[in-house]
Structure 1
Amino acid sequence: MVQVVHSPQQERYEAKVNGEYVGYLDYVDEGGSVVITHTVVDQQYGGRGYASKLVRYVLDDLRGKDRTVVPLCSYVADYIGKHPEYSDMVAAPGGR
């Protein structure tokens, strides 16, 4: 089971499995929108679906806070493309 911890002061969500750190998602909070810059899963944990679980958690968390996202991270952009239920969260150019 993936546990995600949000660290707002670091602008980062961290993923752990059984207490082991497996990866993170970095962002920049720009007020109404959150710019997602990087999603990283340590190589030894790759291919297990941890990145998608982390991204889903983050998007659900941001949706609950009525935030939009700017997916600069290609993984997040691809994830949203494959999961259109999140497409309404993508910020329009120049804001919401």
Structure 2
Amino acid sequence: MEIKHEQTESKGAFSAWIDGVKAGEMTYSVAGTSMIIVDSTHVDEAFKGQGIGVKLLNKGVVPFAKEKKVKIMPLCPFVKAQFDRHPELAPMRA
């Protein structure tokens, strides 16, 4: 799986690609210089149940936030659930 990142001035997305097919995407909005708001996660039906969303969070959004020294506001229900289930993510939460 390859994770790609695209960002404009105010929005961004991490996408997961498997064998040239887009398997899922996690989008965010930039909220100033100290926070991003993860607003949605979508996984293609053909790839559900393979941990795509978790990989987008743990291999995309979290490392990006750490690198940029920003907090994550989990507006997306999936990401909020991951933050609630995994206390090790608490320091990243806005």
TM-score interval for Structure 1 and Structure 2 normalised by the shorter chain:
0.7 to 0.9
Residue in structure 2 matched with residue 94 of structure 1 by the alignment: none
Residue in structure 2 matched with residue 67 of structure 1 by the alignment: 70
Runs of 4+ aligned structure 1 residues displaced above 6 Å come to none
Task: Map residues 23-42 of structure 1 onto 2, 5 A cutoff.
Answer: 23-31=24-32, 32-42=34-44
Task: Map residues 19-58 of structure 1 onto 2, 5 A cutoff.
Answer: 19-31=20-32, 32-57=34-59, 58=61
Letter in 2 for 1:8: Q
Identity rate, percent = 27
Deviation (angstroms), 1:55 = 1.1
Deviation (angstroms), 1:51 = 1.0
2:20 pairs with 1:14: no
| Number of aligned residue pairs | 90
Q: Deviations over 1:36-72 (max 9, x none)?
A: 1001001111011111111112112211221101100
**TM-score, normalising length: structure 1:** 0.86
- Rounded to whole Å, the distance in 1 between the matches of 2:54 and 2:68 is 20
Tell me how large the CA RMSD over aligned residues is: 1.2
- Rounded to whole Å, the distance in 1 between the matches of 2:68 and 2:12 is 15
- Rounded to whole Å, the distance in 1 between the matches of 2:89 and 2:28 is 17
**TM-score, normalising length: structure 2:** 0.88
Letter in 1 for 2:56: L
Residue in structure 1 matched with residue 2 of structure 2 by the alignment: 3
